[in-house]
Structure 1
Amino acid sequence: MKKAWRIKKNSEFQEVFKKGASFANRQLVIYFLHKDQQDHYRIGLSVSKKIGNAVVRNQVKRYIRQIFHELDEKIKNEYDIIIIARQPAKEMDYYQFKKSVSHLLFKTKLLKN
């Protein structure tokens, strides 16, 4: 995933939290905000220290980035998306993550028809 497609600044995270909508399942929470004149979606990841040590947290983030890379052409472009991992995420494998993320994107209508 290109670095230009990532949300890094705290102010950008806060804007999505305050102005955007959210949806959750047991493993993940998604916040999303519609942004006009944006040519590609941007993604921000948040994995708490409660999930595990640095190795586990980085693995969770790698899984999520790879899923967005694979679903790249199916996701609507004009959104900022933040994914927050919950406690059960530390025991999940890649395919369970993909199913969970796909479920959230489908429910929030962020996938193209």
Structure 2
Amino acid sequence: MKSSESMKSNTNFKNVYHNGKSYANTYLIMYVLKNETEKNKIGISVSKKVGNSVIRHRLTRLIRESYRMNENMFNSGLDIVVIARAGARGKSYNEINSALIHLAKMHKILKEMIKS
């Protein structure tokens, strides 16, 4: 079951920017704000400063796929905005995935995994 949806409206992005908390690393910036639903909303932003449209779309796909593969690890009820930095240009899936997980740990939005 999909527990996330895409954030599309500019108003939602602005709300998360102004009211959410942000952390950054070399490749990504992540803003997080609690919402009042059971679903997560994820928004991805890649500026023209990062590169041409091919590079920007590739980064968007890498971030979206990284989130999708780790979606079950994230807590529910969050608005998440991920912004790619210029340093992310040309990086592999594993590097982007590692950066996304790193930021999620900084925000403390990962579920506690039960160790068996």
**Structure 2 length as normaliser, TM-score?**
0.91
Report the counterpart of residue 14 of structure 1 in structure 2: 14
Q: Give the counterpart letter for 1:76 in structure 2.
A: N
1:61 paired to 2:64: no
Distance in 1, matches of 2:29 and 2:68, equals: 19
SS at match of 1:91: coil
Distance in 1, matches of 2:103 and 2:35, equals: 19
Q: Give the counterpart letter for 2:86 in structure 1.
A: Q
Q: Report Cα offsets for 1:9-64 as digits up to 9, x if no partner.
A: 0110010011111000111100010112x121110011001111111100000001
Number of aligned positions between the proteins: 110
- Structure 2 counterparts to residues 21-32 of structure 1, below 5 A: 21-32=21-32
SS at match of 2:29: strand
1:5 paired to 2:5: yes
Q: Give the counterpart letter for 1:72 in structure 2.
A: E
Over 3 Å off, 4+ runs: none
Distance in 1, matches of 2:46 and 2:74, equals: 22
RMSD: 1.2
- Structure 2 counterparts to residues 68-107 of structure 1, below 5 A: 68-107=67-106
Identity %: 35
Which runs of 5 or more structure 1 residues have no equivalent in the other structure? none
Distance in 2, matches of 1:57 and 1:9, equals: 19
Report the counterpart of residue 39 of structure 1 in structure 2: 38
